[in-house]
């Protein structure tokens, strides 16, 4: 039964990938720039006060409370991916619920002020509530999720069947669990197994397989050419970033040099190095 469910998850993820060109452009999918899916957002790399995604929609998913429906807006590609993920979870017998999507700068300011007043320290507060501009929710790419059997934004969500399902499978729909145990010094946030962030399927699978904070992944991935970020596979990203973390920049440098060549040479290089990683060379 577990193998059958796993195949179904992969099938749905592949079906979603076929739709990806319709709901998001390659340039958006690969960009670390403003508005890009790969943009790093934390207390050190913040969004401006006036930043609002150009377009947002309400994903057709259930919420934890009836009154939360207006608080789950996301950018279209992330919303579509969330719908696919919730549907796949339901087929496996897990009912997920959305809690909080887009959150404005002003809303985050209020939440952060209340937290500081509550704990008495800005340093302590920002480990559990992001300062204004440092919240991924402002990007429209993040969602907090719970389940019908565990409705709390609590670390224990990770130990529930639904939390384990999210941790293992959200990457196949383009999401990563952003804040894990042991990552606080890098991310600046305490563990939040309920908080998922959309970065696209190929990058999400690579980050999950490497099991590293997104900051660590992004520090290496953002040095890659845009054509690689847009059209690379999870095997390629996993291999490249893994090698770079070990100090081996050879294949990454080949791809950087190929960016200056003609289009045929560039794609031949990308395909060759992708095949090398896929075959384990």
What whole-number percentage of the chain has pLDDT above 70? 89
pLDDT > 80? residue 169 = yes
273 C-beta neighbours (distance < 10 Å), count: 22
End-to-end CA distance of the chain: 33
Rounded CA gap, 178 and 196, in Å?
6
- Contact between residue 82 and residue 60 where contact means Cβ atoms under 8 Å apart: no
104-121 pLDDT, tens digit per residue, is 999 999 999 999 998 888
Q: Which two tokens stand for residue 130?
A: 């992001």
Q: What is the DSSP letter of 33?
A: S
Does the structure show a pLDDT above 80 at 281?
no
Q: Are strands 142-147 and 96-100 parallel, antiparallel or unpaired?
A: antiparallel
Taking CA atoms, 154 is separated from 37, 63, 138, 146, 190, in Å, by 27, 17, 21, 9, 11
Domains of the chain in start order, with CATH, are 2-211 (3.30.1380.10), 212-281 (no CATH)
Determine the pLDDT at residue 24: 37
- Neighbouring CB atoms inside 10 A of 117's CB total 9
Give the pair of three-digit tokens for residue 122. 């800005």
Query: Residue 201 in contact with residue 168, Cβ under 8 Å?
Result: no
pLDDT of residue 31: 83
Residue with tokens 């040095």: 223
The contacts of residue 237 (CB under 8 Å, 6+ apart) are: 202, 203, 206, 221
Asked if residues 99 and 61 have their Cβ atoms less than 8 Å apart, the reply is: no
Active site residues: 192
Residue 3 binned pLDDT confidence (cut-offs 50, 70, 90): very low
Contact 223, 249 (CB under 8 A): no
What pLDDT is attached to residue 8?
A: 52
pTM for the whole thing? 0.89
pLDDT digits (tens, 9 = 90+) for 40-84: 999 999 999 999 999 999 999 999 998 888 999 999 999 999 999
């Amino acid at each position: 039964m577990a193998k059958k469910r796993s195949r179904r998850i992969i099938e749905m993820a592949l079906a979603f990938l076929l739709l990806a060109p319709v709901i998001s452009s390659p340039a958006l999918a690969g960009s670390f720039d403003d508005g890009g899916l790969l943009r790093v957002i934390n207390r050190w790399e913040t969004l401006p006060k006036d930043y609002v995604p150009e377009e947002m929609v309400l994903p057709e998913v259930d919420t934890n409370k009836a009154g939360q429906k207006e608080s789950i807006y996301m950018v279209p590609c992330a919303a579509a991916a969330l719908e696919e993920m919730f549907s796949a979870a339901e087929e496996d017998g897990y009912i997920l619920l959305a809690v909080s999507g887009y959150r404005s700068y002003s809303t985050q300011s209020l939440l952060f002020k209340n937290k500081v007043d509550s704990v008495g320290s800005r340093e302590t507060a920002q480990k559990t509530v992001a300062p204004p501009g440092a919240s991924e929710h402002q990007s429209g790419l993040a969602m907090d999720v719970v389940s019908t059997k565990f409705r709390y934004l609590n670390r224990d969500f990770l130990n529930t069947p639904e939390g384990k399902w999210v941790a293992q499978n959200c990457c196949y729909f383009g999401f990563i669990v952003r804040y894990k145990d042991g990552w606080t010094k890098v991310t600046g946030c305490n563990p939040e197994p309920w908080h998922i962030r959309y970065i696209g399927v190929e990058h999400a699978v690579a980050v999950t397989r490497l099991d590293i904070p997104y900051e660590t992944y992004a520090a290496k991935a953002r040095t890659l050419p845009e054509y690689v970020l847009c059209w690379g596979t999870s095997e390629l990203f996993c291999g490249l970033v893994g090698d770079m973390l070990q100090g081996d920049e050879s294949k990454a440098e080949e791809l950087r040099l190929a960016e200056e060549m003609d289009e045929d040479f560039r794609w031949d290089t990308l395909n060759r190095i992708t095949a090398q990683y896929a075959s384990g060379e």
